[in-house]
Amino acid sequence: MPTRSFQANLPGAGHFRLSVDQGVICAIEPLGAELPDAPYCSAGFVDLQLNGLAGVDFSSATLEPDAVASIVPILWKTGVTSFCPTLLTNSQAALERNFRILEIARRAYRHFARCAPCYHLEGPYLSPGPSRGVHDPAWMRPPSWSEFEKLQCAADGNIGVLTLAPELPGAPQFIRRVADSGVLVAISHTDGTGEDVHHAAEVGAGMSTHLGNGCAQMLDRHRAPFWAQLAEDRLYASIICDTFHLSADLVRIIARVKGPDRTVLVTDSVHVAGLAPGRYDIAGRAIEALPTGQVVTADGRCMAGSTLRMDRAVVNFMALAGVPLDHALQAATVNPLRMLPCARQMGRIAVGEPADLVLFRLEGQHLKIEDVWLQGETVID
């Protein structure tokens, strides 16, 4: 592959000429200040929590490998070059089956293997109480190392993120063991105490999954686990910026408290993203996609994932939190990869990094993607 060079703005840094050789950034030459008519360049976006898209549900009992691989080109068009297929609370047999399906897809489709560094298991070790969200409490149970080992075996060791409730029996010891095995342990869907949160961080938990969600509607104004997660410096905060899950005030507060280095954007997208409004189901639970784009449980009790795209999450975060473009991009690139032990790259524009790149223009409240590169090759039309 011959060396390719192009010019683009690097947000917050200026205008540069970048050169790519053998799929790797080989040179970065400063040319001056940012040019208003030049495109921007970023590392490819990363989504740590993707439950499904365009009719493909990673928790479906009928999931097949070709369906798994089919969503990757759709994600490229949103700027995503790395993502974690996410399985929700389910029976042990159902979880093992779908992790095996993901592994078949990994072996059969090179582009899926390249773009899915690991998987995210959200549940079944969650609270069956008010914080449970769309997850089915019938399948919730205390954490079990032997059970988790079986899931990792089905996934060929590729479970890289595990979300759980830290107050469950045996959770501290389990968290330490899972974290020591190289898995990112995250907290959510918890009805525990602030002490449970701090103890979880002490023994190895590293992130809050969709902070501000996965919690009870009614909270103690001073002692809710939400406040402990917000205050705990050892926890990154992933957030869903779709304008439904969090208010602008709360997004701004989380961004200010966690700062640009500990805030992570996720979509929490479900398979109804890209489908017509209507009734669907996910992991055996009835949900409804509303014409507004919001997804709720059929009884209207709570939200049930989102239809958010990562390119939209970036501009929403800028608007809601009042942060500059470079900070928003950091939350969609560097920060999520920094937490993944299995990450093959840093999510930065730097010499020696894989050329997984997004070229785009910022047009008002829209991020218009012009090109996406995977290891230096264009992957969208």
Residue 374 contacts residue 73 (beta carbons within 8 Å): no
Two structure tokens written together for 268: 């929490």
Residue 334 in any domain: the answer is yes
What is residue 104's predicted lDDT score, i.e. its pLDDT?
98
Range of the domain at 317: 44-346
Residue 207 in any domain: the answer is yes
Amino acid letter, 66: D
Residue 188 contacts residue 209 (beta carbons within 8 Å): yes
For residue 123, the domain's CATH number is 3.20.20.140
What is residue 344's predicted lDDT score, i.e. its pLDDT?
83
> Which residue is listed with tokens 């940012």?
34
Per-residue pLDDT of 246-285, as tens digits, reads: 999 999 999 999 999 999 999 999 999 999 999 999 988 8
What is residue 115's predicted lDDT score, i.e. its pLDDT?
97
pLDDT band at 1 (very low <50, low <70, confident <90, very high): low
What is the total count of domains within the chain?
1
Express as a percent the part of the chain with pLDDT over 70: 100
Residue 78 in any domain: the answer is yes
What is residue 326's predicted lDDT score, i.e. its pLDDT?
97
Mean pLDDT throughout 41-62? 98
What is residue 66's predicted lDDT score, i.e. its pLDDT?
98
Mean pLDDT throughout 125-132? 94
Residue 37 in any domain: the answer is no
Per-residue pLDDT of 194-245, as tens digits, reads: 999 999 999 999 999 999 998 877 777 888 899 999 999 999 999 999 999 9
Least reliable range by pLDDT among 172-181, 307-316, 363-372: 363-372
Residue 270 in any domain: the answer is yes
Mean pLDDT throughout 17-34? 96
Distance, in Å, from the CA atom of 272 to the CA atom of 57, rounded to the nearest integer, reads: 8
Residue 130 to residues 22, 126, 135, Cα–Cα distance (Å): 51, 11, 11
Strands across the sheet with 357-363, in order? 24-32, 14-21, 4-10, 40-43, 357-363, 366-374, 377-378
Residue 106 in any domain: the answer is yes
